[in-house]
Structure 1
Amino acid sequence: MNKTWLKERSELGVSAVLVGLGVLILVDALTIHTDFAQRGPIGPKAVPVVVGSLLIVVALLLARDVLRGGRGEAEGGEDVDLTAPADWRTVLLLCAAFLANAALIGMAGFPISGAVLFWGAAYALGSRHFVRDPLIAAGLSVATFLIFNNLLGVPLPGGPLMEVL
């Protein structure tokens, strides 16, 4: 194989990364111990096994397409200004929201720390609805907590709201 052949089929690199991620997710999913929280027919292994399997399937389909001569369109970049500086304010605000979530989850529980994360991400990305955003963040956080904790059987720290929910 020469460099020209590989350069013309660079999408195979994306396919290889997808296979690697899929295998990593599958191996990790299969090591999950389900005896701690299995509350129904669908346990904590279901979603990662489906995601890992689908990643491998997509990677194989992409590789087949590339080897048969398929090529992705080059990105036009029509709305990207490559001369503009990086938006470090947004990056730092997103990092702060993530770190606040990590710091709060142990003592405040997921519903509160998740709401801080969701609201912080919305604010960092430009939303300035100071009544609507916290309400949506709280709703998303509580819904995520209930889905993982009650339906999927993946226990998340409830914090002080655990008694209320």
Structure 2
Amino acid sequence: MSTTDQQAARPRLAVPELLIGIGLLACAGAVAWQTLSIPVSPLYSKVGPTVFPYITMVGMTILSLLLIVAALRGGWQPEEEKETPTDWKAMGIVAVGLVANLVLIQPLGFTAASVIMFVLICHGFGSRHPLRDVLLGLILALAAYFGFARALGVNIGAGFIENQLNTGLDSIIRMLRG
């Protein structure tokens, strides 16, 4: 077997995939670190506020280790996919959408910030139907908001839209109760 055949048979280290695996492992470490800071009352018997974060951390750790092993074996991307150039403009639009959500959730509320993020991410992935994206984003954001706020009682950032809808729903509920 020649040297070139040996090099072809041995998988190349997939650096981008390795960085993703290491990044996910670092995120798992951050979840563990933050979970350790959650105060746990001795009144909790077996299931407390840290159970699901720890389950998430274990899952992230296992996934990151699998990704690192795959990267060491040559990566998980097919060769033709590796040759496709990165669309930095699309990635930038997606990143702007994520940052916009972080920046806008406080002043505008969860729903408006989520719709803006949804539309930008859809655009980054190639959608050229902003009205449809706004409507879908609105439906998903309202479902998520009311799922958390009404069903679970968790405040995830009420803004103008949420306050108006809450006022309307409260009026309807009062009216139905008589």
TM-score (norm 1): 0.62
Name the Cα RMSD after superposition: 3.8
Gaps of 5+ in 2: 1-9, 42-46, 167-178
The answer to whether structure 1 residue 22 and structure 2 residue 24 are counterparts is no
Q: Partner letter of residue 161 of structure 1?
A: I
Match of 1:32 in 2: 38
State how 1:9-158 maps to structure 2 within 5 Å: 20-32=26-38, 45-58=50-63, 62=66, 72=73, 74=75, 75-81=77-83, 84=85, 86-151=86-151, 153-158=153-158
8 Å Cα contact 1:44/1:154 also seen in 2: no
Q: Which has more radius of gyration?
A: 2
What is the Cα deviation at residue 111 of structure 1? 0.9
Alpha-carbon distance in structure 1 between the residues aligned to 2:130 and 2:54: 39
Residue 132 of structure 1 aligns to a residue whose secondary structure is helix
Query: RCO (CA 8 Å, sep 6+): is it higher in 1 or 2?
Result: 1
Q: Partner letter of residue 140 of structure 1?
A: L
What is the Cα deviation at residue 140 of structure 1? 1.7
TM-score (norm 2): 0.58
The 3 A distance-change label for structure 1 pair 19 and 152 is farther
The 3 A distance-change label for structure 1 pair 29 and 143 is farther
Of all paired residues, the percent bearing the same amino acid is: 23
Q: Deviation string for 1:75-118 (max 9, x for gaps)? A: 43223435x4x423213322332333233211210111011101
Match of 1:39 in 2: none
Alpha-carbon distance in structure 1 between the residues aligned to 2:61 and 2:81: 32
Gaps of 5+ in 1: 1-6, 36-41
8 Å Cα contact 1:44/1:153 also seen in 2: no
8 Å Cα contact 2:119/2:130 also seen in 1: no
Alpha-carbon distance in structure 2 between the residues aligned to 1:46 and 1:149: 22
Alpha-carbon distance in structure 2 between the residues aligned to 1:101 and 1:16: 26
